[in-house]
């Protein structure tokens, strides 16, 4: 009887350890986020660190986000035409493009691109500082590492991502417009009228709120994974991978939650 029960008990024990580890990790990230936010709203403020992080997110990420948005809008227009032409609904292409880009594709794709670029960079930079004892040196010099390294990056992520998404929205819609007018034969005026008629303020606002949340998630996971990294160069590599993967998964999960909150009836 014991021989039969042992594999079952071992499986349950492994499942329990996994659940406990996940809960412990979620709690650690939550406490880290709360501590970082508390430092972000209390002086002193490190303006140079904030400006550096803001430029990393908003300016140096702009090319990859812009290219992604343009080609996404183009592909979306082509695929929409391919499907809608079967039902004689080609006139809905402009509406589909603008709603898809502003509500979902703009913030989500921008978040994923920034996670791959900035989340990895934050994790690698802070992780390298951790394994080379530079963070301990900051503490020795009476500089709070959370206030100096984490808080400016969290604030930069929240403020910079909506700006990137505004650009992504404009370029995504412009990509659909170019394909619609130059390749699919739509009238320029009719395409623009259809776009403006269907677009509402909530469509844009919801995308910008998502962008701020995604920017916070990217900065949080990048700084957390770097801050808690251990084990030399291998640990920094693992922290970088963990930052990108965890940010991407959280972006997709929170996208559903925020969409449900904004548009569920």
Q: Is residue 58's pLDDT more than 80?
A: yes
Percentage of the chain modeled with pLDDT above 90: 42
d(CA 25, CA 59): 32
pLDDT given at position 212: 95
d(CA 42, CA 262): 31
C-alpha radius of gyration, the chain, whole number = 22
pLDDT digits (tens, 9 = 90+) for 207-265: 999 999 999 999 999 999 999 888 778 888 888 999 999 999 999 999 999 999 887 76
pLDDT digits (tens, 9 = 90+) for 80-112: 888 777 777 777 888 888 999 999 999 999 999
Q: What are phi and psi of 228, to 5 degrees?
A: -100, 10
Q: Is residue 1's pLDDT more than 60?
A: no
**DSSP 8-state class, residue 250:** H
Q: Is residue 155's pLDDT more than 80?
A: yes
d(CA 109, CA 165): 9
Domain range enclosing 239 = 2-263
pLDDT digits (tens, 9 = 90+) for 11-44: 777 778 878 888 888 888 888 889 888 888 888 8
How many independent structural domains does the chain possess? 1
């Amino acid at each position: 009887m014991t021989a039969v029960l042992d594999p079952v008990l071992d499986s349950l024990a492994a499942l329990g350890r996994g659940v406990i580890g996940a809960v412990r990790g979620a709690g650690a990230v939550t406490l880290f986020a709360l501590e970082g936010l508390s430092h972000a709203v209390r002086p002193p403020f490190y303006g140079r660190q904030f400006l550096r992080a803001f430029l990393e997110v908003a300016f140096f990420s702009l090319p990859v986000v812009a290219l992604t948005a343009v080609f996404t809008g183009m592909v979306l227009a082509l695929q929409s035409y391919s499907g809608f032409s079967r039902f004689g609904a080609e006139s809905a292409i402009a509406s589909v493009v603008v709603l898809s880009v502003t509500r979902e594709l703009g913030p989500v794709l921008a978040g994923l691109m920034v996670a791959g670029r900035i989340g990895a960079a934050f994790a690698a930079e802070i992780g390298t500082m951790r394994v080379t004892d530079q963070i301990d040196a900051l503490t020795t010099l009476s500089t709070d590492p959370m206030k100096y390294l984490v808080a400016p990056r969290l604030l930069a992520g929240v403020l910079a991502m909506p700006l990137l998404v505004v650009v992504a929205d404009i370029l995504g819609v412009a990509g659909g417009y170019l394909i619609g007018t130059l390749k699919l034969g739509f009238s320029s005026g009719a395409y623009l009228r259809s776009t403006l008629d269907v677009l509402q303020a909530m469509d844009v606002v919801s995308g910008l709120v998502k962008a701020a949340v995604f920017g916070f998630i990217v900065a949080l996971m990048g700084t957390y994974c770097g801050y808690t990294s251990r084990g030399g160069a291998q640990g920094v590599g693992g922290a970088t991978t963990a930052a990108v993967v965890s940010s991407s998964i959280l972006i997709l999960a929170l996208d559903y939650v925020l969409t449900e909150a904004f548009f569920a009836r």
